[in-house]
């Protein structure tokens, strides 16, 4: 009986915790991933709108916090207000494919040519490279969608002038005559040319590259830590779904000031990363560490959980037959 128990434990402990790139059917994985990405963005987009508005406002001019912003947007702008800029933002699905291909391929190459086996180090490097590719694709769409998020803010006293709209000098009272998206694109190009669509690109890289690298480092770190604490037979999918939000929360606290600087540069058309950082410090002080962080924490926790749930499930559905016996749900 003891021998049988020991054999079971050895078999359980030998099961694969991380499904690697060469273990999957790529076409199946990426087709399923596109559907999953759209669902995730549609579910979590309202938190992106709320986070952006909280970060852009000075002090608490319009909203007192995440819940207050949610209530006011829903009350004064309707459900549509929570999805302003959504369709232009869904282009991020394309960048997401580039991101995940880069991440997985870099991990694979590090194992193949650099003999790196440490999942935390591979995650750190792969996550940073993936974000670099993703941000290069998505920054123009991000700039446009953030301008749209700021339109038509309302409080109890009426419409608050959206700083994005004022700075672009667009007459949004005429929006029934032409597309708001076209208006923003035309005005951005008129003022800055093509470089206007990459405003804040450096700030985006400073925010998202380390954020992505750290998340993919924390993810296997927390997964391995939880696996060592929990019973051997614990579901690997459950372990991953716990580790993802823990990594997301850690990254939020580390990168929140950088994310505020990025949002201010892209929407308020500030030119200098350093200058924006200094101005923010003068305006907000230590509040730059907490401004909009509650919305980011909620968004990141839910996003990390759903991303991991979808990502790990899709990997299990896409794994080649010869590995299926070694994978535990």
- pLDDT tens-digit series, residues 46-80: 988 888 888 777 767 778 888 888 888 888 888 88
Identify whether 17 is part of a domain. Answer: no
- pLDDT tens-digit series, residues 113-137: 888 888 889 989 999 999 998 888 8
Identify whether 12 is part of a domain. Answer: no
Identify whether 121 is part of a domain. Answer: yes
- How far is Cα of residue 304 from the mean position of the Cα atoms in its chain? 8
> What's the chain's average pLDDT?
79
Identify whether 329 is part of a domain. Answer: no
* pLDDT recorded at residue 171: 53
How many C-beta atoms surround the C-beta of residue 102 within 10 A? 19
38 three-state secondary structure: helix
**Band of residue 156 on the pLDDT scale cut at 50, 70, 90:** low
**Band of residue 11 on the pLDDT scale cut at 50, 70, 90:** very low
Domain count within the chain: 1
* pLDDT recorded at residue 16: 64
Q: Residue 134's domain spans which residues?
A: 23-318
Identify whether 159 is part of a domain. Answer: yes
Distances (CA, A) of 224 to 87, 171, 214: 38, 54, 16
> b or e along 202-219 (b: 16 or more beta carbons within 10 Å of the residue's beta carbon)?
ebbbbbbbbbbbbbbbbb
Identify whether 15 is part of a domain. Answer: no
Percent of the chain with pLDDT over 90: 12
DSSP string, 59-91: TTSS-SSHHHHHHHIIIII-GGGGGTTHHHHTT
How many C-beta atoms surround the C-beta of residue 14 within 10 A? 8
CATH number at residue 281: 1.50.40.10
* pLDDT recorded at residue 294: 80
Identify whether 328 is part of a domain. Answer: no
Identify whether 164 is part of a domain. Answer: yes
* pLDDT recorded at residue 213: 92
E strand spans, 115-178: 154-155, 158-159
């Amino acid at each position: 009986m003891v021998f049988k128990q020991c054999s079971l434990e050895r078999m359980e402990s030998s099961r694969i915790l991380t499904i690697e790139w060469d273990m999957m059917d790529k076409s199946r994985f990426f087709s399923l991933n596109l559907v999953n990405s759209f669902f995730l963005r549609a579910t979590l987009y309202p938190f992106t709108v709320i986070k952006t508005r909280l970060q852009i406002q000075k002090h608490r001019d319009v909203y007192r916090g995440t819940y207050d912003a949610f209530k006011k947007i829903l009350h004064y702008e309707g459900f549509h207000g929570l999805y302003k800029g959504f369709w232009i933002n869904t282009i991020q699905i394309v960048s997401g494919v580039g991101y995940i291909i880069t991440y997985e391929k870099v991990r694979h190459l590090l194992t193949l040519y650099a003999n790196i086996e440490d999942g935390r180090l591979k995650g750190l490097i792969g996550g940073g490279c993936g974000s670099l590719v993703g941000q290069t694709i998505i920054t123009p769409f991000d700039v446009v969608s953030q301008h749209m998020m700021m339109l038509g803010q309302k409080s109890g006293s009426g419409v608050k002038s959206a700083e994005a709209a004022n700075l672009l000098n667009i007459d949004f009272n005429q929006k029934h005559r032409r597309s708001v998206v076209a208006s923003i694109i035309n005005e951005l190009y008129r003022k800055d040319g093509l470089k206007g669509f990459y405003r804040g690109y450096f700030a985006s890289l400073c925010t998202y590259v380390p954020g992505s690298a750290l998340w993919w480092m924390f993810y296997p770190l927390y997964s391995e830590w939880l696996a060592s604490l929990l019973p051997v037979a614990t579901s690997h999918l459950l372990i991953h779904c716990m580790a993802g939000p823990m990594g997301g929360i850690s990254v939020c606290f580390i990168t929140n000031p950088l994310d505020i600087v990025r949002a201010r540069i892209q929407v308020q058309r500030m030119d200098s990363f350093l200058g924006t950082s200094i101005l923010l410090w003068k305006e907000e002080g230590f509040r730059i560490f907490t401004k909009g962080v509650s919305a980011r924490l909620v968004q990141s926790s839910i996003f990390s959980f759903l991303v991991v749930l979808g990502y790990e499930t899709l990997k299990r559905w896409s794994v080649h037959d010869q590995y299926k016996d070694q994978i535990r749900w």
